[in-house]
């Protein structure tokens, strides 16, 4: 029997199934994703100036009510304003606050409100809209990863409530322009009304408290500097206030800690790490970016979050990541992960903010690398490299680090350890720590309180590296391949052949390799063998297997096989 026709028929029948399987692996995006993740025409015509947020949470019913005034500058005339507010929260009314208070009509589509604006608004003038809202905000079940509001009680039975909304977005608890590209240039005012036996701690500085006759108190906080909206936070608890001061590059910086009274001793012990951490980060990254708004740590009922000038802390007053070392080397137990990592975000994430969350590696990769730098600060350069390499065990290489743009999509969680390993590899290839340090400081100075993209970061790093890092970014951010450094050494060790493989064609990462007192510089090409003659000193001291300790590449080496001829 001839089986070929039957085989062909089976293959033809299976093709649609295979095609469907391929399509199902691709992310499916909706109109709602585009509205959330893109700079729509209803967003583009106006520029944020200031938010005035007034919120009253009901700690028993787990509801909130409040209003937000949005001050904006008109870039060009627009007919509709897009405001984001996630269901099931409801908008009660919208007003334009001009010469007279004017009610505005709006339509809602899922998590978006399109507000019909007054006719005749002129470019280069400012406007003010006030939105009243209420409802049951999304409750965070596993904060901070799923986000929302954590309605909990502390161990003594007191209310302990906090927000967390990175990725999910601030519109989960207040109406806003929920996209990272536009930050309020004149900051934010946050007023939260709670029972007067409790305190609310938000970003910036406390400028007022208002006692009400119904045994409630409003805590008014002011942020003077631009802020990404997912950093805006509400933290309610029976707090005590601890104070300290750091003298840094910007002068005196107020340090304020809000903790539960039963944890006072642990806080005093653990938060002693803050000043050496700030000293380290100012050395590497430049001046702390928010001297006007101060620096705070506030205890929360979840692990932690990088809320600008108001870092959320929940690491249970122990070193490591809840007592574990994410690198597996022991070095990560020398310091408190949340104090160090979340504070590192003040420079990368809060000072420098990615325009699109598809570029979230800019926040997480550089901040993850701050852990390496602090380890080095405490225990030396080799300890830092060991920590960085150890953290690579957390890399999954499941999908690209860059997300898909304009649809509110993030890439792989490898944006933490893999992007950090990429930065360490670039540093090692430069072999000039002072130049690398000046590069990090340059980024924070050039993009001070600004929004950036991956190409903008790539351009600046290339200037300091002395070569284009485009191929490096392509390799580590857009593929799941680990470059292989292949080498063949001659039997006598005098000749070395080498190349890169498993890499994109323009991958270029010079290798600076210690060989005793010498540094051997190799510039491997992708899939092209090169040959070099080694000196006696290099032969005696060169250990190519150690290259993997400093560069995120795999090593594939062997001795040249000598073939005997009859």
Task: Transcribe 349-413 into DSSP letters.
Answer: TTTEEESSGGGTHHHHHHHHHHHHHHHHHHH-HHHHHHHHHHHGGG----S-SS--TTTT----G
How high does pLDDT run on average in the chain?
94
Structure confidence by residue, pLDDT tens digits, 108-138: 999 999 999 998 889 999 999 999 999 999 9
Closest CA to 200 of 345, 49, 59: 59
How much of the chain, in percent, has pLDDT values that exceed 90? 92
Question: Would the pLDDT of 550 be above 90?
Answer: yes
Cβ(354)–Cβ(360) below 8 Å: yes
Contact 479, 400 (CB under 8 A): yes
Separation of alpha carbons 47 and 185, rounded Å: 9
Q: Quote the pLDDT of residue 191.
A: 98
Strands 159-164 and 106-109: unpaired
pLDDT score recorded for residue 27? 80
Task: State the virtual CA torsion across 337, 222, 55, 263 in degrees, nearest 10.
Answer: 40
Look up the CATH number of domain 36-235: 2.60.40.1730
Alpha-carbon distances of 383 from 329, 374, 518, rounded to whole Å: 9, 10, 22
The pLDDT of residue 380 = 98
Question: Do 448 and 289 meet the contact criterion of CB atoms below 8 Å apart?
Answer: yes
- Beta strand segments in 123-276, E: 126-135, 148-153, 159-164, 188-195, 199-201, 205-211, 216-223, 235-237, 240-248, 251-259
Q: Please, which pLDDT band fits residue 20 given cuts at 50, 70 and 90?
A: very low
What pLDDT digit, counting tens, does each position of 421-480 carry?
999 999 999 999 999 999 999 999 999 999 999 999 999 999 999 999 999 999 999 999
Q: Is the pLDDT score of 11 beyond 70?
A: no
Yes or no: say if 84 and 173 are a contact pair by the CB < 8 Å rule.
Answer: no
Query: Has residue 80 got a pLDDT over 60?
Result: yes
| pTM of the shown model | 0.94
For 77-81, what is the mean pLDDT? 94
Cα separation, 387 vs 213, in Å, equals 55
**Around 288, how many Cα atoms within 13 Å sit in the side-chain half-sphere?**
26
pLDDT at position 230 is: 98
C-alpha distances (whole Å) from 198 to each of 134, 163, 195, 315, 510 are: 22, 16, 6, 22, 57
Helices (H), 293-360: 337-344
Q: Among 156, 225, 215, 218, which residue's Cα sits nearest to residue 185? A: 225
Residue with tokens 């570029």: 359
Gyration radius (Cα) of the chain, Å: 27
- Alpha carbon of 20 to those of 7, 9, 17, 266: distances in Å? 21, 18, 5, 56
State mean pLDDT over 75-86.
96
The pLDDT value given to residue 121: 87
Q: Per mean pLDDT, which range of 13-27, 133-147, 173-187, 469-483 is the poorest? A: 13-27
Q: Which superfamily does CATH assign the domain made up of 341-458 to?
A: Neutral Protease Domain 2 (1.10.390.10)
User: Would you say 465 and 430 are in contact if contact means Cβ atoms under 8 Å apart?
Assistant: yes
pLDDT score, position 562: 52
- Rounded-to-integer distance, Cα 206 and Cα 300, Å: 18
Closest-CA residue to 530 (of 496, 503, 479, 491): 496
Q: Decide: residue 3, CB within 10 A, 0-12 exposed, 13-18 middle, 19+ buried.
A: exposed
What is the 3 state secondary structure string of 388-399?
HHHHHHHCCCCC
Q: Are 118 and 128 in contact (CB under 8 A)?
A: no
For a pLDDT cut of 70, what percent of the chain falls above it? 95
Q: pLDDT digits over 291-338, tens only?
A: 999 999 999 999 999 999 999 999 999 999 999 999 999 999 999 999
Whole-number pLDDT of residue 560: 80
Instruction: Say whether the peptide bond before residue 313 is cis (omega within 30 degrees of 0).
Output: no
Q: Which two tokens stand for residue 234?
A: 């509400």
**139 pairs with which residues across the strands?**
149
Listed in sequence order, the residues at least 6 apart from 142 whose beta carbon sits closer than 8 Å to its beta carbon are none
**Confidence bin at 25 (pLDDT 50/70/90):** low
Residues 6+ positions from 131 with CB-CB distance below 8 Å:
67, 68, 70, 83, 85, 91, 93, 94, 175
269: left (phi over 0), alpha (psi -120 to 50) or beta: alpha
| First-to-last C-alpha distance (Å) of the chain | 52
Strand 518-522 with 511-515, pairing: antiparallel
Task: Name the strands in the sheet holding 554-559, side by side, starting at the edge strand that comes first in the sequence.
Answer: 530-533, 495-501, 484-489, 554-559
Token pair listed for 509: 């990462």
Task: Judge whether residue 9 has pLDDT over 60.
Answer: no
Residue 334, CA distances (Å) to 330, 462, 553, 563 in order: 8, 33, 27, 53
Confidence of residue 5 (pLDDT cuts 50, 70, 90): very low
d(CA 552, CA 557): 16
How far, in Å, are 68, 378, 407, 415 from residue 396 at the CA level? 41, 29, 24, 10
């Amino acid at each position: 029997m001839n089986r070929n026709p039957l085989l062909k028929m089976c293959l033809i029948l299976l093709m649609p199934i295979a095609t469907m399987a391929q399509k199902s692996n691709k992310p499916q995006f909706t109109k709602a994703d585009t509205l959330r993740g893109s700079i729509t025409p209803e967003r583009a015509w106006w520029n944020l100036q200031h938010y005035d947020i007034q919120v009253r949470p009901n700690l028993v019913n787990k509801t909130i009510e409040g209003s937000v005034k949005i001050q904006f500058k008109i870039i060009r005339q627009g007919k509709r304003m897009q405001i984001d507010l996630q269901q099931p929260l409801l908008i009660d009314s919208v007003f334009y606050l001009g010469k007279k208070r004017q009610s505005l009509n709006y339509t809602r589509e899922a998590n978006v409100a399109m507000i019909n604006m007054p006719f005749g608004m002129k470019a280069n003038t400012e406007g003010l809209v006030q939105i009243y809202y209420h409802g049951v905000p999304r409750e965070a079940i596993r904060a901070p990863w799923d986000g929302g509001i954590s309605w909990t009680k502390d161990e003594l039975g007191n209310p302990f409530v906090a927000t967390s909304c990175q990725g999910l977005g601030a519109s989960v608890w207040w109406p806003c322009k929920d996209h990272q590209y536009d930050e309020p240039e004149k900051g934010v005012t946050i007023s939260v009304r709670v029972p007067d036996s409790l305190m609310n701690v938000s970003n910036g500085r406390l400028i007022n408290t208002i006692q009400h006759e119904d045994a409630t108190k409003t805590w008014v906080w002011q942020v003077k500097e631009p802020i990404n909206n997912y950093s805006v936070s509400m933290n309610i608890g029976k707090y005590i206030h601890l104070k300290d001061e750091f003298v840094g590059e910007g002068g005196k910086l107020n340090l304020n800690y809000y903790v539960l009274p039963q944890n006072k001793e642990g806080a005093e012990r653990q938060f002693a790490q803050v000043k050496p951490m700030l000293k380290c980060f100012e050395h590497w990254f430049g001046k702390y970016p928010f001297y006007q708004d101060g620096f705070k740590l506030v205890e929360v009922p979840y692990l932690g979050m990088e809320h600008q000038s108001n870092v959320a802390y929940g690491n249970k007053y122990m070193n490591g990541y809840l007592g574990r070392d994410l690198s597996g080397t022991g070095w990560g137990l020398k310091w408190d992960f949340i104090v160090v990592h979340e504070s590192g975000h003040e420079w990368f994430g809060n000072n420098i903010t990615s325009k699109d969350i598809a570029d979230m590696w800019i926040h997480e990769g550089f901040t993850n690398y701050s852990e390496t730098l602090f380890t080095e600060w405490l225990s030396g350069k080799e300890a830092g490299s060991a920590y960085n390499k150890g953290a690579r065990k957390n890399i999954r290489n499941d999908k690209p680090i860059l997300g898909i743009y304009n649809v509110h999509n993030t890439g792989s969680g490898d944006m933490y350890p893999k992007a950090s390993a990429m930065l360490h590899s670039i540093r090692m290839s430069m072999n000039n720590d002072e130049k690398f340090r000046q590069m990090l400081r340059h980024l924070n100075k050039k993009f001070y309180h600004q929004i950036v993209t991956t190409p903008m970061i790539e351009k600046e790093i290339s200037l300091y590296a002395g070569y284009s890092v485009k191929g490096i970014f392509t390799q580590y951010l857009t593929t799941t391949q680990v470059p292989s450094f292949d080498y063949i050494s001659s039997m006598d060790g005098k000749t070395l052949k080498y190349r890169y493989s498993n890499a994109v064609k323009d991958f270029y990462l010079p290798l600076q390799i210690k060989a005793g007192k010498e540094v051997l510089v190799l510039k491997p090409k992708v899939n092209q063998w090169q040959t070099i003659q080694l000196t006696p000193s290099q032969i005696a001291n060169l250990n190519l297997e150690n290259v993997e300790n400093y560069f995120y590449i795999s090593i594939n080496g062997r001795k040249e096989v000598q073939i005997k001829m009859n």
